[in-house]
């Protein structure tokens, strides 16, 4: 694990599809089923999740089913981005895996903790399978963007905790 400015952590996956990965987890006093329901209603909550979020919409399929295409519009590292992701795998109530092209993969995981929960968001960047040396070079070239993505990810975790722990209209 390499450390970058702003305590951003970058991990090298020990697999043939080695990619640079950032990850953030947050524990909250919210049952896992409430966190999952919030994710299922993400288009309704996306803008309130983070000030840099602008829109979330399903372009094809039904949200969080394999092959569904979802488009997010948000500001990252000072620029507006429109990102399209395709859902790869869903374990209802627990996890969602998705990708955008060949160089970006993501994962949401919800773990129950005795009436509480842990939410983990993970993003993996870069061309898979090119080797550790090239991965390290890419990590250094995109250090600023990765640090900004890690900060954004941390803020999303903190905001999700605040939103769900203080929500009065949830079951």
CATH of the domain at 30: 3.30.530.20
Q: What is the pLDDT of residue 136?
A: 67
- 142, part of any domain: yes
Structural domain includes residue 170 = no
Residues 25, 5: Cα–Cα separation, whole Å: 19
In a domain, 103, yes or no: yes
Q: Which residues, other chains included, contact 142 with Cβ-Cβ below 8 Å and sequence gap of 6+?
A: 125
Q: In terms of pLDDT, which residue wins out, 13 or 31?
A: 31
Q: Which residue has the higher pLDDT, 150 or 53?
A: 53
Does residue 171 lie within any of the structural domains? no
Is 101 inside any structural domain?
Answer: yes
Q: What is the mean pLDDT of the chain?
A: 82
- Asked whether residue 93 is assigned to any structural domain, the reply reads yes
Residue 114 has pLDDT above 60, yes or no: yes
Where residue 5 falls among pLDDT bands split at 50, 70, 90? Answer: very low
Answer whether residue 6 shows pLDDT above 80: no
Q: Tens digits of per-residue pLDDT, 57-102?
A: 999 999 999 999 999 999 988 889 999 999 999 999 999 999 998 8
User: How many distinct structural domains can be found in the chain?
Assistant: 1
Alpha carbons 107 and 83: distance in angstroms, whole number: 15
Separation between Cα atoms, residue 54 and residue 48, nearest integer Å = 9
pLDDT in the model for residue 71:
96
Round to whole Å and give the CA distance between 72 and 139. 24
Q: Does residue 37 sit within a domain?
A: yes
pLDDT in tens, 100-110: 988 889 999 99
Residue 130: per-residue pLDDT = 57
Domain that holds residue 53: 2-165
Judge whether 144 lies within some domain. Answer: yes
């Amino acid at each position: 694990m390499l450390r970058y400015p702003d305590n951003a952590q970058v991990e090298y996956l020990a697999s043939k599809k080695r990619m640079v990965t950032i990850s953030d987890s947050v524990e909250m006093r919210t049952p896992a089923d409430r966190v999952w329901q919030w994710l299922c209603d993400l288009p309704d909550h996306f803008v309130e999740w983070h000030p840099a979020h602008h829109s979330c919409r399903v372009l094809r399929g039904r949200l969080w089913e394999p092959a569904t295409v979802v488009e997010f519009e948000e500001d990252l590292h000072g620029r507006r981005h429109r990102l399209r992701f395709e859902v790869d795998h869903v374990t209802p109530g627990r996890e969602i895996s998705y990708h955008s092209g060949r160089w970006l993969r993501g994962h949401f995981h919800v773990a129950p903790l005795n009436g509480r929960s842990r939410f983990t968001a993970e993003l993996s960047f870069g061309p898979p399978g090119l080797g550790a040396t090239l991965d390290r070079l890419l990590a250094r070239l995109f250090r600023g963007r990765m640090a900004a993505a890690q900060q954004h990810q941390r803020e999303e975790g903190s905001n999700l905790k605040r939103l769900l722990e203080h929500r009065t209209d949830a079951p």
